[in-house]
Amino acid sequence: MKHLLSTREIDRGTAVRILDTALEMSRTADRAVRKLPTLRGRTVVNLFFEDSTRTRLSFESAAKRLSADVITFSAKGSSVSKGEGLKDTAQTLEAMGADAIVVRHGVSGAAELLAHAGWIDATIINAGDGTHEHPTQALLDAYTIRSRRFGDEALGRDLAGMRIVIVGDILHSRVARSNVWLLTTLGAHVHLVAPRTLLPSGIATWPVTVHESLDEALETAPDAVMMLRIQSERMHDAYFPSAREYAREWGLSAERAARLGPDTMVMHPGPMNRGLEISSVAADSPASTVLDQVSNGVFIRMAVLYLLVAGESQEES
């Protein structure tokens, strides 16, 4: 792999290799010196056309722990806001020595365009594009599930037979799409739950089971329940009558959380709308993996940068 654009193009072997590499990276967290010299002399650029402090800081931390030089480019207040296009911006960054560009863009397909248009030679990593995909988020979610379930015996394992329930705004969620393809590739059974208005067209062709009732989905005894953020900024119509009704019908309330199995994980990609899609009781419970997901995001992004950028330099040498 030269680029990471979508989880659809990742096979089981590649996915497990990334998760295993992230496990090795996680062991550096306990060292007195957490940095590795792997990407010394390489430059990683974070090219963000959308705000996302959490994802940007995670990629910055990952690159710095691998000793890369890091440049963060925000479209706001830059030449992009003055009319410069994606092609010109990318070519300018490559001229500055970018070996890898981590791109987040509001238009679906922007990362793929950068990777395949022939404008630049840098490695492209998709950090979220429109309502398309967010592959490193799905990888860190899979890593979190595997680590919580298998602990020290996680190395080399997939998620075969596990049941994962994903709840919420499926229509606008790149996190949901990336998770569907990756979790299915790893052998998990994926259940999607949402009001009919928040289900995308064509979902009948996805390798998932669809529910409109959260209570019905929870009866499947899931291994993990992943709550998605309601993306109000992407909603220009009324997709449900009120926040109160959404919380009542599709929110992970304290009562629903109490009915989960003792080993069921409660997940959320963040940031959370407490009291809407998830209650504080559920978000702060021992079953919650929310903070683990943040920590694991750094290890996954270290693994992706290592395999794409360091692997490329080793092949060249």
- Binned at pLDDT 50, 70 and 90, residue 77 comes out as low
Query: What pLDDT sits at residue 315?
Result: 46
Query: What pLDDT sits at residue 240?
Result: 73
What confidence tens digit (pLDDT) does each residue in 244-292 have?
899 999 999 999 999 999 999 999 998 999 999 999 999 999 999 999 9
CA angle, residues 33, 36, 40, in degrees to nearest 5: 130
Contact at 8 Å (CB) between 179 and 203?
no
Please provide residue 209's backbone torsions phi and psi, each rounded to the nearest 5 degrees: -105, 130
Percent of residues, the chain, with pLDDT higher than 90 = 81
What confidence tens digit (pLDDT) does each residue in 115-150 have?
999 999 999 999 999 999 999 999 999 999 999 999
Q: Is 11 helix (H, G, I), strand (E, B) or coil?
A: coil
What six digits make up the tokens of 304?
């992706």
Contact at 8 Å (CB) between 6 and 182?
no
Cross-strand bridge partners of residue 74: 48
